[in-house]
Amino acid sequence: MKADNFVDAAVAAYTVEHTTPPDDVLLSLAEETARLTGGDAVMQISPEQGTLLTMLVQISGARRAMEVGTFTGYSSICIARGLPEDGRLIACDVSEDWTSVARRYWEKAGVAHKIELRLGPAADTLRAMPEEASFDFAFIDADKRGYRAYYEEILARLVPGGVICVDNTLQSGAIVDPGAGGNVPVMRGFNDFVASDDRVTTALLPVADGLTLIRKI
């Protein structure tokens, strides 16, 4: 699970303690992911983000959702749980290995019937879809350099009032460090673009590694 190193550790722990915790399926998925993927397990969303994603899907009344970056399935389960029984989530990833774990846990969580996996670069998957209002909800959590393209392709296919959630927008707090390298300048460019995009309203929440909520006007 992800370290929230820009929030005071005691406050971060308090936040988690006062958020509905993951159930046994999600706990077991987190344990298996740590065992199978080692250091890569930090890619999994945090438990409080998972609870928030389920609630956002429920509150928005979304029926059709898109995920970019599925990994071993934690966030997809949280999104699918918020959808109604006939709701659908298209889950995009490039890794057959990691998503084979996700497939097993979709069965265990009882949400497999709501999820369709699309393997391949997500930008190609999105561009292959008709440019019409197909989604009410989307979650972007993949390669950071692809975020701008995912955002544009999803926005073109989002209903007015639809919501896009974007993970890792605070980069462990390094987003405000002008000297930081790696993905930080890329993410700063993305954040600046979205904050000034008059097609949407935006709220950047300091939850876990930073979660930006974007609503299409």
Helix (H, G, I), strand (E, B) or coil at 212: strand
- Interface characters, 73-92, with ligand SAM (x: CB under 6 A): -xx----------------x
Selected binder of ligand SAM within 37, 60, 95, 172 (CB under 6 A): 95
CA distance 180 to 178: 6
Distance in Å, CB of 119 to ligand SAM, minimum: 8
Residues from 158 through 217 that contact ligand SAM (CB under 6 A): none
Write out 181-203 in H/E/C secondary structure.
CCCHHHHHHHHHHHHCCCCEEEE
Judged by CB under 6 A, which stretch of 17-25, 62-70, 180-188, 199-207 contacts ligand SAM?
Answer: 62-70
User: Which residue do the tokens 């265990």 mark?
Assistant: 108
> Which residue of 94, 156, 204, 213 would you call a contact of ligand SAM, by CB under 6 A?
94
Q: Tell me if 72 contacts ligand SAM by CB under 6 A.
A: yes
Q: Report if residue 98 touches ligand SAM, rule: CB under 6 A.
A: yes
Kindly state the helix (H) or strand (E) to which residue 52 belongs, with its residue range.
helix 47-60
1: Cα separation from own chain's centroid: 14
Q: Site for ligand SAM (CB under 6 A): which residue of 4, 48, 93, 153?
A: 93
Which residues are registered as beta bridge partners of 67?
A: 91, 139
- Residues 9-48: x where in contact with ligand SAM by CB under 6 A, - otherwise, as a string: ----------------------------------xxx---
Both tokens of residue 149? 């393209």
Tell me the angle at which helices 47-60 and 24-37 cross, rounded to the nearest 10 degrees: 130
